[in-house]
Every structure is written in structure tokens, then in C-alpha cells.
Copies of this chain bind each other. A is one copy, B any other.
Amino acid sequence: MSKTKGQPEASPSEEEGKIRLGPLENFIGFNLRLAQDASFQTYAQHVGKPHLRPGRFAAMMLIHQNPGLTQMELSRAIARDKSSVTPLVQTLQREGLITRTPSEIDRRRVTLRLTDAGEEVLKSLLAHAEEHDRKLDAIVGDRKAELLELLKDIVKHLT
């Protein structure tokens, strides 16, 4: 024990790439998270600051596709808790992108619709999202159908 420490400081991976992942290497969940994260990051910086957030885009698209959608329906479709939807739609409304009108057949419900301004913004967001997804398409190439099927299977079986 001449040196104060028994071990040479450890065998810490001197470079980031050399880190051992162990079992994580082949865990689907872990790799799913890394991929989703990378995708998100790329998208976010692509869109810039103002209208970012994939959640926003997804929400607006769903409202566009399903005018009169309720918050609960939206909540399920984007897999977010209903309590997360509240501030989201309130923000969109405050920005004049959607309208929230109480349902007449069920006064608990709020129905959502895009405003004209909302449609405009959605159009622009869609353009960005498409460009981003083209990048992903380029990576997966002809394996895209397979990938989508796998992801959808996972969602279907776990839900």
C-alpha cells in the first residue's frame, strides 16, 4: 500500500465511447429510450425554439384530423395524462391556435378545433416534421415498414 489508493483511480473508460453497457446493450427498453431521445433532440433543434415540442405538433395534428376532439381523447392519443393536456390546450388557446368550446351534449366535455391561424401554424410544423422524418427514413431505408410494425406491436401489446 505504497500509494494512498489501492486501485489506479479505477479503470474508467478514458473515452466516452468505450463505456461498457453490460446487459443494457441488448435491452429493448433502453435502446428505445436512446432512439426516442435522439429523435426528439434532432427534431427540437430543427424546429428552433418558438413552436417546438413534438407534443404540440402531435396535438395540433390530431385536432386537425379529428375536429371536435375532446381532451380525454387527445390525452389517450398522445399517451399523456389528462392533467398534462390541460395546460397544453390552454396554451394553444391563449396563442389563438385552437378553440375550446364546451360540448352541448355533455357539458363536462370540451371540444377542440384548430383556428385558421392554427391551421397555418400546423402547416408549417408539418413541413418541419416531414423533413425531420425524412432524415429518419433515410436511416432506416427499406426497413421502415418493419420498424413501424415493431413499434406498433410493442404499443399494442403493452397497453
Contact = CB atoms under 8 A, between A and B. Distances in A.
A115 B150 CA distance: 38
Given A9-B103, A73-B12, A136-B154, A29 B40 contact: yes
B58 A129 contact: no
A12 B139 contact: no
A8 to B, nearest CB: 9
Interface string A52-94: 0010001001101111111001001101000000000000000
Interface string A137-153: 10110011011101111
A1 interface: no
A77 B28 contact: no
Nearest to A29: B39
A33 interface: yes
Closest 10 CB pairs of A and B: A10-B68, A12-B68, A38-B158, A22-B65, A36-B36, A31-B151, A20-B65, A35-B151, A28-B136, A35-B154
Given A31-B148, A36-B36, A136-B154, 10 more contacts: A16-B73, A16-B76, A19-B73, A20-B62, A20-B66, A24-B61, A35-B36, A139-B157, A146-B150, A150-B150
